[in-house]
């Protein structure tokens, strides 16, 4: 299906291109099939500018946050660790180390989600031992990074926490 492009300009000056489905495409085929075909046609296009690239990247982060329980847990624990670091006034280098290790965990969780999606797309509803291995290894990478981040945060945060507790008591 060859589609037309509708170019529109909003009141704030942003120009956007949108696929246009002619009425005969809807009448002759299922609308969902036509939409999927258009989505496929535009999926291979490179983002026209850096802002669009960031929009796509944020869509991936938003998807992970909305659908992946473990990603939400990692985000919450990152906020807790950084907040505790701020509360206990740890050095900027220690805060950076905590932030980088927590970011590594979230990056690996995003890669794990992407890999799982690609594997599911490839094998569908069937079971394949190699698909299991790929998913298990990706999850294992996240687990190892999360344990390392927990150790780093513990090494950095427990000493000032113990000092705070002993001064308060």
Active site residues: 109
CA dist., res. 34 & res. 12, Å (int): 30
Total residue length of the chain: 169
Does 135 belong to an annotated binding site?
yes
Does 120 belong to an annotated binding site?
no
- Nearby residues of 56 by Cβ (< 8 Å), 6 or more positions away: 47
Does 94 belong to an annotated binding site?
no
Does 129 belong to an annotated binding site?
no
How far apart, in Å, are the Cα atoms of 73 and each of 61, 68, 98, 128?
14, 9, 16, 29
CA dist., res. 58 & res. 52, Å (int): 10
Binding residues: 56, 109, 116, 135-136
Binding residues for a divalent metal cation: 116
Binding residues for substrate: 109
């Amino acid at each position: 299906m060859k589609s037309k492009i509708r170019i529109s300009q909003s009141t704030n000056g942003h120009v956007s291109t949108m696929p246009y489905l002619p009425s005969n495409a809807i009448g002759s085929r299922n609308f969902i099939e036509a939409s999927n075909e258009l989505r496929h046609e535009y999926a291979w296009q490179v983002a026209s500018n850096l802002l669009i690239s960031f929009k796509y990247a944020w869509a991936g982060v938003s998807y992970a946050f909305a659908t992946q329980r473990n990603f939400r847990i990692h985000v919450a624990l990152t906020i807790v660790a950084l907040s505790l670091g701020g509360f206990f006034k740890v050095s900027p280098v220690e805060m950076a180390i905590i932030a980088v290790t927590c970011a590594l965990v979230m990056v690996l969780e995003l890669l794990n989600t992407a890999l799982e999606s690609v594997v599911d797309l490839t094998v569908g509803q069937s079971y394949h031992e190699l698909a299991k291995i790929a998913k298990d290894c990706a999850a294992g990478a996240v687990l190892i990074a999360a344990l390392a981040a927990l150790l780093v945060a513990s090494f950095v945060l427990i000493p000032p926490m113990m000092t705070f507790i002993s001064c308060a008591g």
